[in-house]
Amino acid sequence: MNTIETEFAASAAFASEMDKKDPLRGFKAEFLIPKDESGNNVVYLTGNSLGLQPKTTCSYIEQELNDWATLGVEGHFHAKNPWLPYHEFVTEHLARVVGALPVETVAMNSLTVNLHLLMVSFYRPTSDRYKIVIEKNAFPSDQYAVRSQLEFHKVLSPAFKRPAFANEPLDSFSSDSSTQPPEGGPQNALIELAPREGETTLRSEDILETIEREGDSIALIMLGGVNYYTGQAFDMKAITEAGHRKGCIVGFDLAHAAGNLELKLHDWDVDFAAWCSYKYLNAGPGGIAGAFVHERHARSFDLPRFAGWWGHEKETRFLMGPDFHPIAGAEGWQLSNPPIFQLAALRASLEIFDRAGMAALREKSVKLTAFLEFLLGAIHDERISVITPTAPGARGCQLSIRVKDSNKDLFNALTSKGVIADWREPDVIRVAPVPLYNSFTDVYKFAEVLKSCL
């Protein structure tokens, strides 16, 4: 055996030892794992894209289907789990996953919709403070969302003019040509954080320095908690503090962070956040998303918001009055009565999260990813390199493997050998061992297959 073979042989034994000692090992059996053509379980490392189905999901949804069949509309009040308050059944679980108070948390809509609804309230540009900070390589939907918000507020429009009064919202701008556009021009309304030349991830110090330098003109900082492409996790606490010191609103897209990192949204004082639940939260394709609004804003009824009847005070909602009185807290941002089957699926998964606990999950996750990183290094092949930061605090479970010459054949070969990872153009294979249902042996098998494909 050469050195690589020896290292791998030792790693197989290590993986099985780690699995035996793993206090969370029982959870794998609670999930349905897809099979390959020969009927063997695939090595599923794509919980960062679509989490696996808990075995209980079916019965949770069936319960609601049965109650609908037998009760019809009466199910709103008399279903085993009445539909009227159904979204409340997930609130506490969801709050625990993201480190929030129940009043700060709600399950509703989908992710991009929630980002927009929250920006309606929390992106309030004025002539002096109108910029938005995002990552240059943020997920495209976030790019589209913030750009469309800028356009909606006319910040990107050539007709953008300073208002007569510094703090007048931009919507009411006059087109008086004697006034001047903001210094640097409206195109500077979007600050896109880019890695330094020759680097692939952002440096914390650069993010903080930008906030310090531009802060007086920044209305909103909206970053991902974990970047979808590089797997880099941001220091949300430091970014929020830096933003607040300069008077900015700070929000996060937690698509790749919720259920992955141990979040403390309340303690970090984040203003708002939104996330989807089909990735790490295993709520199924297109699952109902989550939103967080800090307790500080719970009673800010003067904030502009798009209203719908489900956000109206519960006591008087059914009086069907003409005026909107929002519920205090995140629930006040709801628009419509929620999709019960989706909530049921989310509930099935969150009950598993509750039993496992985010602290224990994260502890295992750090070890799983470190093991993956070790094995990738042990392959010693210059055609692959990891672009995700090496510090555990600067990443979640995902490692992004850059493939030289954008060679997608490698990814296709992995797939044909029963490994489900994902490919992101132009040259990255994303691999995410998730602590709920991935084992150290899964990670080992992946590395073995990868080695054989190279």
Ligand X SMILES: Cc1ncc(COP(=O)(O)O)c(C=O)c1O
* Interface positions with ligand X (CB under 6 A): 110-112, 139, 141-142, 224, 228, 253, 255-256, 276
DSSP notation for 46-58: BTTTSPPEETTHH
Name which of 36 and 422 has its Cβ closer to ligand X. Answer: 422
Peptide bond into 426 cis (omega under 30): yes
Which residues, 6 or more positions from 369, have their beta carbon under 8 angstroms from its beta carbon?
392, 395, 396, 397, 398, 399, 433
Helix (H), strand (E) at residue 252: strand 249-253
Amino acid, single-letter form, for residue 427? D
With contact defined as beta carbons under 8 Å apart, do 210 and 247 qualify? no
Name which of 210 and 227 has its Cβ closer to ligand X. Answer: 227
Minimum gap (Å) between residue 301 Cβ and ligand X: 27
* Percent of residues in the chain assigned helix, strand, coil, to nearest 5: 45, 15, 40
Minimum gap (Å) between residue 340 Cβ and ligand X: 19
Kindly provide the b/e burial profile for residues 335-359, where b requires at least 16 CB atoms within 10 angstroms of the residue's own CB.
Answer: beebbbbbbbbbbbbbbbbeebebe
Name which of 200 and 230 has its Cβ closer to ligand X. Answer: 230
Minimum gap (Å) between residue 299 Cβ and ligand X: 28
From 84, 47, 85, 111, select the one nearest 292 (Cα to Cα). 111
Q: Using the 8-state DSSP alphabet, how is residue 157 labeled?
A: S
| Rounded (10°) CA dihedral 29, 437, 350, 134 | -170
Minimum gap (Å) between residue 345 Cβ and ligand X: 15
From 212, 209, 223, select the one nearest 137 (Cα to Cα). 223
From 362, 394, 378, select the one nearest 444 (Cα to Cα). 378
Name which of 276 and 327 has its Cβ closer to ligand X. Answer: 276
Name which of 215 and 224 has its Cβ closer to ligand X. Answer: 224
Minimum gap (Å) between residue 210 Cβ and ligand X: 20
Name which of 158 and 426 has its Cβ closer to ligand X. Answer: 426
Q: Round to whole Å and give the CA distance between 372 and 442.
A: 10
Name which of 231 and 418 has its Cβ closer to ligand X. Answer: 231
Minimum gap (Å) between residue 256 Cβ and ligand X: 6
Name which of 111 and 340 has its Cβ closer to ligand X. Answer: 111
Minimum gap (Å) between residue 110 Cβ and ligand X: 4
Which residues, 6 or more positions from 210, have their beta carbon under 8 angstroms from its beta carbon?
133, 191, 193
Name which of 242 and 274 has its Cβ closer to ligand X. Answer: 274
Q: Round to whole Å and give the CA distance between 251 and 223.
A: 7
With contact defined as beta carbons under 8 Å apart, do 87 and 107 qualify? yes
Minimum gap (Å) between residue 394 Cβ and ligand X: 17
Minimum gap (Å) between residue 404 Cβ and ligand X: 25
Minimum gap (Å) between residue 275 Cβ and ligand X: 9
Minimum gap (Å) between residue 248 Cβ and ligand X: 21
Name which of 100 and 276 has its Cβ closer to ligand X. Answer: 276
384-386 and 399-403 as β-strands: parallel, antiparallel, unpaired? antiparallel
Minimum gap (Å) between residue 254 Cβ and ligand X: 8
Name which of 228 and 272 has its Cβ closer to ligand X. Answer: 228
Q: Round to whole Å and give the CA distance between 134 and 222.
A: 5
Q: Which CA distances in Å does 395 have to 25, 205, 233?
A: 22, 16, 4
Rg (the chain; Cα; Å)? 24
Name which of 67 and 142 has its Cβ closer to ligand X. Answer: 142
Between the two ends of the chain, the Cα-to-Cα distance in Å is 18
